[in-house]
Amino acid sequence: MQRYFFSLRIALLVIVAGVAVSAIDLATRGFVVVHDPRALIAGAVLEDGLGARRRPLRTFARDYWATRPAFDGTVRLLCRSGREVLRGDVRPGEQTSYTVTAEDCRRGGGRYRSSGASG
């Protein structure tokens, strides 16, 4: 008779299965990651071309913001300087990443709309 209800083998199998399912899910549904190594942005939002649908990027880890795209759109960076910049084209099912540069959030007057390639 076993001493424990769950054996270590079953526990390990459950953990490996969870990681595998998560990896497959991320690969098929896609994700958006914004890396902000200099802490220049206060937030980021995924929005469609008309600005009607918005989905905030959540703090994923230190200096990283992430979400899953549910629609085609662009990432709006909300800089601490008050500037708002559009960067990166996003589509569901694709992996998109962007690194914030000093040029994105340099101080300037008002809002600035620009599109750039995801990188």
Q: Which residue from 48, 22, 44, 18 is spatially nearest to 33, judged by alpha carbons?
A: 44
Average pLDDT across the chain, whole number: 82
30, 69 Cβ separation under 8 angstroms: yes
42, 78 Cβ separation under 8 angstroms: yes
Lowest mean pLDDT among 24-28, 38-42, 72-76: 24-28
pLDDT over 60 at 92, yes or no: yes
Predicted local confidence at residue 114, as pLDDT:
44
With pLDDT > 70 as the criterion, what percentage of the chain qualifies? 83
Predicted local confidence at residue 108, as pLDDT:
57
- Residue 44 pLDDT class (50, 70, 90 cuts): very high
